[in-house]
Structure 1
Amino acid sequence: MKVLLTSTLKRIHDPKSWRLGKGQDSFNYGIACVAAMAEKAGYDVECLDLFHNNWRAGDLERHVAEKKFDVVGIGFFTPQTDLAQKTAAVVKRVLPNSKVVFGGIHVTSVPVETLDETPEADACVVGEGDYTFTELLDCWRDGGDIATVAGIAYRQNGKARTSGPRGSVRDLDDLPMPSYHLFPMREYEVSPNISFRPPTVSFQVTRGCPFKCTFCEYTTVGGPKIRHKSIPRIIDEIRYLRDEFGFHSLVFRDSTLPTKRKFLVELCEAMIEAKIDMPWMCYSRVDLKLPRETFRLMKRAGCWQIGFGCESGNQKTLDRLKKATTVEQNMETLKIAYGEGLSISTTWMLALPGETVEDAENTIRFALDTPAHIAKFYLPVPYPRSNLERACREDGGLREGMSYANYDLYDQSDPIYVNPLIGKERQVRLTRDAYRRFYSSPRMWGRNLAQIRNLDMVKRYYDGVRLLLAG
């Protein structure tokens, strides 16, 4: 069987495409993991990044007509729902007898609804797809009943339904290395805000998240239990990325790399001993109570930046979000990390349900008072089945006629949720003002300029600020 795994088509006249540009993106790690299992099982697999390649429908039509794939898997997030449907329609128009499979966080949240809305899709992979997708291929190859495959949504007598649940992968070392070789790895480049020394690659060493933030949908796929690859496996993977593709720095894309402190310490010590010599950044939380010694060890191992999801400068908002953090922890942890010479990136949300203009202003002022080098301000994006989505519906702020195609993470000038206590124009203006005030702060510029060591860093800061302030 010939298998194609792909992203969705790109939105035509995408207003943000000029900002991100080809080369300022990252490959689809999830698709690479699924591809590796299918390759291991003996299937002929191709990975295609339609978004990165800037392909249009005609390009895809010609490609699938030439290759005549038996199965096409499409991975996507909520903002690409309509694009996934269009991609599936193109495939079915050219290859009506092929099988189309959807996967990702969105379809895991609403699998039955996704099938109901997309007649071109034959099945959805629900949860982690490493084993599920390959078993689905086996079933179609052998003429079996796909209802026996755990972890999917499928149709029976024209009605969408789900099969039995599939648990998370217990031992990540049982999985083969992601199929990096099926992607044009050196063509990718992550955002300059998180790239220390290009070219930079993003990859993942853990799965799962034990936290219960109301706005996040990550645990929908990863589950609540943290699992990680073994230290030797991680070191081997880093060496492969460095030696095979020539990457100079890393991004740990894990939602919270330091959740297990013992694992973090062992990883840092192993990177030092192995002389990896690649700068890296990761994401963390302010309530993990990492001591100064751990931040110092991380820096010795190559860590140059940590991203913190602070979210708010209001305790009542943090409580509503179930962050299990405090505003005091936000400030204290950022100061400790900054004091150890690390670059600090922060994210904040404005105009959440129940907030007033003063609450939003308070968050902006709080962000300005932190020692952060980077701050990103977002309006609420209520993902399917999340507690935040319920709160947005209950206060009447979720836009009427809203579809998942409106979930655009980058362009927030036309938000899908309008806080009734603030209003659309005011909350859009608040977000723009937050960026303007933060990035015109002399203290912010002083912190960033103090980190510059070479011309590459000058270019990184220039590109990063241009990207953040665009639009």
Structure 2
Amino acid sequence: MNKILLFNPKSANAKYRIPNSIMNIAASVEGRYDWVIVDGNCEADPVQKIMGYVDTGEYKYLGFSVMPGPQLKQAIAAASAVKHKYPHVKMIWGGYFPSNQPESVLYSHLVDFIINGPGDNAFPNLIDALENNKPYEFIKNLIYQGTDGRIVKTVKEDLIDQDSLPPLPYDKLNTMYPIPRFLGKTYLGEKTLAYHSSIGCPFTCSFCAVVPIYEARWKGKSAQNIYKDVKYIKDKWGATAIEFHDNNFFVSEKRAVEFAKLIEPENMTWWGMARIDTMSKFKDSSLEAIRRGGCKIIFFGAESGNDSILEQMDKGGTQTGKQILEFAGRLKKFDIIPEYSFVLGTPAPTPEKVMAQIDFEIDFIKKVKAINPKTEIIIYTYSPVPTEGSEMYKQVLESGFKFPQTLEDWISPAWENFDLRKNPLTPWLTAEMIDKIRDFEVVLNGVFPTETDIRLNSLKRAAIKAISTFRYKINFHKYPYEIKLLQRMWKYRQPEIQGF
């Protein structure tokens, strides 16, 4: 009667990936407790599936992995259904959303405990404590509501040596959901595997939800163990490509190069995330080895070409606008596509200053494209993240911005779009500013359709480019209805929302 149900809420409409976060938790209790996984991406009615398990009376613990946005809606629906029928079932949430919004989560009375960061030790230790009626106050990485009603946060655990962790239970997952179902067709390849090779990031960007969780710490698996896992899935289930979902895959030049050399004979293509100021220090020989090893595209948080805004964001490191431009040109030589994300609409003292910042970024993005036209540009509108203590967080609060207070408020239609950084509710942005950002994005994507949209053939690319180029050249981005129509007709894929 002490089985564990692990739930991965739906995160995308048509993109299935191995639920790595939940799989890590499953690995942590493997051999100690019986467990099952319910994947919301693979179920027509995941709540019904969950209730089918819980109705047996055998499942005493439910663990949910919850990111902001789409996952939250399904997580709340499932938690509500279970708690109203079986209040004694222990509900445990992990992931960025509950760790960053513990009050909303715990005061909903749907969730009993939050795993605040990695749960490899915290989750099994908590289950052991609850099973044996032992104290849990000294278990690290926990957040819960104390007897006096206040939120209690236990101390953070040092990051675990990733090579010491048990292997992910791929074979057991395969009995519930066939692994090939998670190997989707993408720009990278016919059967793309999602994999986590590290946790955390050694930087403190004030707009990033990772910072409060990992506190500028990073730990990665060895290149040999990454290769062993990837090759196992390639040989057993036919994976042809890899998406590394690490927050920062390229922290270590040595590790990245070693992995590239190990994977090169396997003829797999891959993608990962990096920082420009980190990779700009890589030797040419390292970049050559990484490309030979199959790396096709790398995501970089460029954020802004304005050095003062980079400082405002507490970007850390040594990144500058000049470096962003130079590195785009450098990667061109190695045939690696840089995927640059920019955050427009950061707070400023006056509306005129905000608009001037937006105009600057639009001009800067055009400079990037002039240097390396293959650079993928992803545009976000700034969405405040509750990184308490940062200068930007103070500016956000002083502007009158407020975060939702209840769990239900977080899944309102406006906030769901807000979490995708598409529909900001910030006091310093006007409708005119939002229109300027969105219209430029439409024209930019018309002139330079993303290479990662595998459904957009050469004829469609040529057509949309032809009707967009004149607007782009004369800086006339307003009312791009004809481009929007084509994008809607052809279901143009936006990587910032849909991935590859």
Q: Where does residue 2 of structure 1 map in the other structure?
A: 3
Q: Where does residue 345 of structure 1 map in the other structure?
A: 339
**Secondary structure class of the residue paired with 1:436:** helix
Query: Quick one: structure 1 residues 414 and 228, their matched pair in 2 at CA, closer, same or farther if it must change by over 3 Å?
Result: closer
Is the CA contact (8 Å cut-off) linking 2:382 and 2:421 kept in structure 1?
A: no
Is the CA contact (8 Å cut-off) linking 1:312 and 1:348 kept in structure 2?
A: yes
Of 432, 441, 459, the match for 1:426: 432
Q: Where does residue 199 of structure 1 map in the other structure?
A: 191
Of 82, 87, 90, the match for 1:96: 87
Query: Quick one: structure 1 residues 368 and 25, their matched pair in 2 at CA, closer, same or farther if it must change by over 3 Å?
Result: farther
Of 7, 12, 19, the match for 1:28: 19
Is the CA contact (8 Å cut-off) linking 1:216 and 1:383 kept in structure 2?
A: yes
The 2-side partners of 1:375 and 1:185 are apart by 32
Q: Where does residue 261 of structure 2 map in the other structure?
A: 269
Q: CA deviation at 1:58?
A: 4.0
- If the length of structure 1 is used for normalisation, what is the TM-score? 0.85
Give matches, 1:60-71, under 5 Å.
60-66=50-56, 68-71=58-61
Q: CA deviation at 1:82?
A: 5.5
The one-letter code sitting in structure 2 at the alignment partner of 1:91 is V
1:185 is aligned to 2:183: no
The one-letter code sitting in structure 2 at the alignment partner of 1:415 is P
Query: Quick one: structure 1 residues 342 and 409, their matched pair in 2 at CA, closer, same or farther if it must change by over 3 Å?
Result: farther
Of 257, 263, 270, the match for 2:249: 257
Of 331-340 and 379-388, the range deviating more from structure 2: 379-388
Query: Quick one: structure 1 residues 176 and 56, their matched pair in 2 at CA, closer, same or farther if it must change by over 3 Å?
Result: closer
Q: Where does residue 120 of structure 1 map in the other structure?
A: 110
Of 287, 297, 305, the match for 1:295: 287
Of 13, 35, 39, the match for 1:45: 35
Unaligned stretches of 5+ in structure 1? 11-16
The one-letter code sitting in structure 2 at the alignment partner of 1:359 is Q
Is the CA contact (8 Å cut-off) linking 1:148 and 1:163 kept in structure 2?
A: no
Q: Where does residue 476 of structure 2 map in the other structure?
A: none
Q: Where does residue 157 of structure 2 map in the other structure?
A: 167
The 2-side partners of 1:440 and 1:456 are apart by 15
**Secondary structure class of the residue paired with 1:70:** strand
1:379 is aligned to 2:381: yes
Of 240, 263, 285, the match for 2:275: 285
After superposition, the C-alpha distances for 1:268-301 in whole angstroms (9 at most, x for unaligned) are 22223xx222100111111122233222111111
Q: CA deviation at 1:456?
A: 8.8
The 1-side partners of 2:215 and 2:405 are apart by 31
The 2-side partners of 1:198 and 1:467 are apart by 17
**Secondary structure class of the residue paired with 1:352:** coil
Query: Quick one: structure 1 residues 413 and 106, their matched pair in 2 at CA, closer, same or farther if it must change by over 3 Å?
Result: closer
The one-letter code sitting in structure 2 at the alignment partner of 1:128 is P
1:467 is aligned to 2:493: yes
After superposition, the C-alpha distances for 1:46-66 in whole angstroms (9 at most, x for unaligned) are 111124424254444334324
The one-letter code sitting in structure 1 at the alignment partner of 2:361 is T
Q: CA deviation at 1:158?
A: 5.4
After superposition, the C-alpha distances for 1:147-202 in whole angstroms (9 at most, x for unaligned) are 2422212344352443531413331111112233425432235694xx41122111
**Secondary structure class of the residue paired with 2:130:** helix
Query: Quick one: structure 1 residues 267 and 49, their matched pair in 2 at CA, closer, same or farther if it must change by over 3 Å?
Result: same
Of 311, 316, 323, the match for 1:329: 323
Give matches, 1:449-464, under 5 Å.
458=457
Q: Where does residue 400 of structure 2 map in the other structure?
A: 396
After superposition, the C-alpha distances for 1:44-96 in whole angstroms (9 at most, x for unaligned) are 11111124424254444334324641100111023344543332121123333
After superposition, the C-alpha distances for 1:218-250 in whole angstroms (9 at most, x for unaligned) are 133334232111222111111122122221100
Q: CA deviation at 1:401?
A: 7.3
The 2-side partners of 1:174 and 1:48 are apart by 26
Q: CA deviation at 1:302?
A: 0.6
The one-letter code sitting in structure 2 at the alignment partner of 1:145 is P
Q: Where does residue 13 of structure 1 map in the other structure?
A: none
Is the CA contact (8 Å cut-off) linking 2:16 and 2:41 kept in structure 1?
A: no
The one-letter code sitting in structure 1 at the alignment partner of 2:384 is P
The 1-side partners of 2:356 and 2:184 are apart by 35
**Secondary structure class of the residue paired with 1:466:** coil
Is the CA contact (8 Å cut-off) linking 2:38 and 2:49 kept in structure 1?
A: no
Is the CA contact (8 Å cut-off) linking 1:196 and 1:280 kept in structure 2?
A: yes
Of 413, 417, 439, the match for 2:426: 417
The 1-side partners of 2:266 and 2:456 are apart by 20
Q: Where does residue 364 of structure 1 map in the other structure?
A: 362
Query: Quick one: structure 1 residues 82 and 468, their matched pair in 2 at CA, closer, same or farther if it must change by over 3 Å?
Result: closer
Give matches, 1:69-88, under 5 Å.
69-79=59-69, 80-81=71-72, 83-88=74-79
Q: CA deviation at 1:312?
A: 1.3
Query: Quick one: structure 1 residues 26 and 382, their matched pair in 2 at CA, closer, same or farther if it must change by over 3 Å?
Result: farther
Q: CA deviation at 1:30?
A: 1.3
1:408 is aligned to 2:417: yes
**Secondary structure class of the residue paired with 1:100:** strand
Is the CA contact (8 Å cut-off) linking 1:308 and 1:345 kept in structure 2?
A: yes
**Secondary structure class of the residue paired with 1:207:** strand
**Number of matched pairs:** 444
Query: Quick one: structure 1 residues 156 and 401, their matched pair in 2 at CA, closer, same or farther if it must change by over 3 Å?
Result: closer
The 2-side partners of 1:150 and 1:308 are apart by 32
Unaligned stretches of 5+ in structure 2? 462-486
Of 46, 55, 58, the match for 2:45: 55
- If the length of structure 2 is used for normalisation, what is the TM-score? 0.80
**Secondary structure class of the residue paired with 2:493:** helix
